[in-house]
Chain A
Amino acid sequence: MKTDAQIPVAVPAAAAASVEGVTFTYHGADRPALRAVSFAQAAGETIGVMGASGAGKSTLAKCSNRIVPEFEDGDFHGAITIAGEPLEHLRVCDVAPKVGMVFQDFESQLFSTNVAHEVAFAMEQVGMDRAEMDRRIMPALEAVGLSGFEHRDPMSLSGGEKQRLAIASVLALRPSVIVLDEPTTDLDPEGRAEVFALIAKLRAEGLSLIVIEHESEELRAADRIIVLREGEVAADGLPAEVFARTELLTACGVRPPGLGRALELLGIDAQPKDVDEALEAILRKYPRLAKTLLEGSSDAPLKPPPTAAASKNPAFIGIENVSFSYADGPRVLDSIDLKVEAGEFLAIVGQNGSGKTTLAKHIVGLLQPATGRVTIDGKDRTQMRPAETARAVAYVFQNPDHQIFAATVEDEVAFGPRNFGLAEDEIRRRCDEALEAVGLQNERQSDPFLLSKGERQRLAVASVLVLRPRMLILDEPTTGLDHREQLRMMALVRDLNRAGIAIVIITHTPWLVAEYARRVVLMRKGAKIFDGGVREFFMQDELLRSSSFRAPEITELSRRFGTLALNIDEFVAWVKGRA
């Protein structure tokens, strides 16, 4: 990505934005989504906004450009000014030149068939003349590293590129404030890295940014953090101050940065910005560890454990030399061999388009291999009836809304067993069991569409769990969930695995792999390039780098000390054992 471009920026005012006593209640809601929220943003300041789902983050973002209350109906009180100008009585489109907004769903904010035209779109809407548009397009594209892409179709770009294009189109209008509402939620690690590198660059160039994000590590470089809880400001301060309040963060459904939490457990009062700072802080408190750092650990935890691929146990799922291409397309799977044993916990990782989901679809029978074969418990999958396959392997799609249709939670769960002709008594028994497993037993008669995203995700699990499969494949089960919901979802998955169900999880989230999986398969361009234990996986520096997959920071820190810890508790125990 180019970094030398001059980013077009509005002339900064003393205060970029000011929010005073904003309270908003959605039409029909019984409590306000925002309560008396006040803060001022200095010109050039980057504010990170955090909080659990439903805390009011997106509502606050929408208030900043009048989507609330102009577009989303409700009761609004308070005042917002941008660059000294009150927004009251303005339409959303009138605010567009003052506040640029980038949404999470990148598919829904691109409207053109050509990258240059996409950047011009907002300028056309405000009636800018062609010569001025021409002057602004290239600098905006250069600023986001997309020069040379002018004639490409936006739909042909990767997720990260699409999101950068959305930012370019906002930059071209030179707004006073840019609001980014969870811009990386739907991106793979490479796309996330691209967007956060761009955000850092925009911040360095002096743009005023408001960034809504779940991952605290990504916001450590912000000038200020605001944490929302049930619509109110629960914390507002420097990142180091806010991230030090781990109890408050946890209560607000925010995951404290791993490094800071580890240091806190080691009795060190510091909020490191990166692994280097954490290392220095630990060495100051535990100088004896410097020896470990220089020479490497004597108990050699870095020795790779035996790989899962070498196991002699019989395969529950056998994938033998499977290749596949979509019609007229390139090869998506290339001679894949994979064995998954009963009761395993396997994570499949890799960039978007690497073939992870295509591989999973071969296991459940949604796709047929061009060459090779798939076996389930020793039987050729093509010889199995759908009911037999469904009882063996279940698949939970990334978006739970891709299957929910029934009027009640109970009917949604009962849909599968009814299709397989089970008796009503048996269906009721199984529904009870599945709903209890996912913690939705009290929502039996609820409308599934009114559940939270986390609850809908658990409902999707229940609706396949009810078929009592021996293996569960979950495609990005934590995407779009806040930290609390992520933990709850993964606790459920772990419990299912402990109950004997094999788990295959497709994910982009490093800490999730480190904390929960026991084996990892890394895919790249349709090929399996790694298959082994989790510790062994996180030792493959070159492989991780080339796949844009970063180990969790705590694992990186532990490696600097010559050991390999997969989570905070493991690392703290290791330090305390040697200090």
Chain B
Amino acid sequence: MPIYLYIDRGTFVHRLHPTVKVFALFVMFWSVYWVDQPIALLPVGLVMLWIAQLTDSWPNFYRLRWLFGILVFTTTIAWMVFYRRGAVLVNIPVFHVSKLSLVFGFGRGIKLAELLAASVLFLSTTKIEEFTYGLQRMRVPYRVSFAISLSFRLVPLFIDSAVTIVDAQRLRGYDFNQGGPLERVRRYVPVVIPVFMGALRKANNMAMALEARGFGFSHEPTTFIEYPVTRTDIMAFVFLIGLGTMNFMFYWTGVGRIGPLK
């Protein structure tokens, strides 16, 4: 199973300047942040659908389909407990099922799904090196931006090792599914300790290998890959400013709002 989300295609989105891509991720988050009303979340959603189609990112969305479903469903249900406004449609203990709570909960679910979708699109079209470069250009120190991008590489290795450890303990008769929720969490100790020890060892090896390859020699390393700014980058930048402004206006004018918690 592929462990990275990056899908190598030659689309204009893939070719965008890394700084524009990092900015695009920021704008998507910004746009979603200001809006609660599901209908007002539609423009950003449509933009993302268009990009997903254009960049051939559907396999990644398919891989995470359950996560998207669970996110929308559980958020909608959870907000029916906390958002207690509007006329009750059905009497269910603990829940406040009204048109307003349904719309608000669904809107929150869609917001989270759109945040996840923006991240998936970003990782589907951006290489780790581009991510580092983009962060650097946004004045994040090289060591910090490299550490962030390296963590993307490490996580799949740790997941791989955790799967092997679960297998090893299961073969010694260990049942991870015994007891209640807390007990189940506690029962992962025989996995967490070897993963943690392995992670420490791996991180130590990696740090040695990094320094041995000159990491830290210069505060401003050069870059092998050239990222020229093109007209497409400028147009994308303008489009993103427009999208961000539009969503802020949705909030400002009240179109995108549902109302405060009561």
Contact = CB atoms under 8 A, between A and B. Distances in A.
Interface in B194-217: 194, 197-198, 201-202, 205-217
Interface string A54-65: 000000001001
A107 B153 CA distance: 10
B171 A463 contact: no
Interface in B157-192: 157, 161, 164-165, 167-175, 189-191
Contacts of A113: 4, 6, 127-129
A126 B153 contact: no
Interface residues of A, number: 70
B126 to A, nearest CB: 10
Contact of B168 (A93, A129, A173, A402): A402
A420 B172 CA distance: 8
A103 B189 CA distance: 31
A545 B172 CA distance: 38
Nearest to A120: B224
Nearest to B212: A101
Given A114-B129, A130-B222, A403-B169, A67 B216 contact: no
Interface range on chain B: under 10, 10 to 19, 20 to 34, or 35 or more? 35 or more
B1 interface: yes
A470 to B, nearest CB: 15
A110 to B, nearest CB: 9
Interface in A120-157: 120-130, 133-134, 137, 153, 155
B260 interface: no
A179 to B, nearest CB: 9
A118 to B, nearest CB: 10
A148 B78 CA distance: 54
Given A111-B153, A467-B172, A71 B128 contact: no
B228 interface: no
Contacts of A326: 1
A372 interface: no
B214 A402 contact: no
Nearest to B2: A328
B197 A401 contact: yes
A236 B215 CA distance: 34
B174 A117 contact: no
- A interface: dominant SS: helix
Contact of A129 (B6, B150, B197, B222): B222
Output the residue of A70, A105, A130, A405 with the most chain B CB within 10 A.
A405
Contact of B214 (A134, A155, A173, A416): A173
Nearest to A91: B216
B193 interface: yes
Given A65-B212, A71-B211, A105-B205, A464 B224 contact: no
A495 B226 CA distance: 62
A109 B204 CA distance: 11
B172 A415 contact: yes
A402 B162 CA distance: 8
Interface stretch (A283-291, A387-395, A571-579): A387-395
A87 to B, nearest CB: 13
Contacts of B193: 405
B217 A403 contact: no
Contacts of A395: 168, 171
A100 B150 CA distance: 22
B235 interface: no
A96 B222 contact: no
20 contacts: A71-B211, A92-B208, A93-B214, A103-B209, A103-B212, A111-B153, A120-B224, A121-B213, A126-B214, A126-B221, A155-B3, A170-B213, A328-B1, A394-B171, A402-B161, A403-B165, A404-B194, A405-B190, A415-B169, A419-B173
Given A71-B208, A125-B221, 7 more contacts: A71-B211, A91-B216, A105-B202, A108-B202, A108-B205, A130-B223, A402-B164
Smallest CB-CB A-B distances: 5 pairs? A419-B173, A125-B214, A120-B224, A96-B214, A109-B209
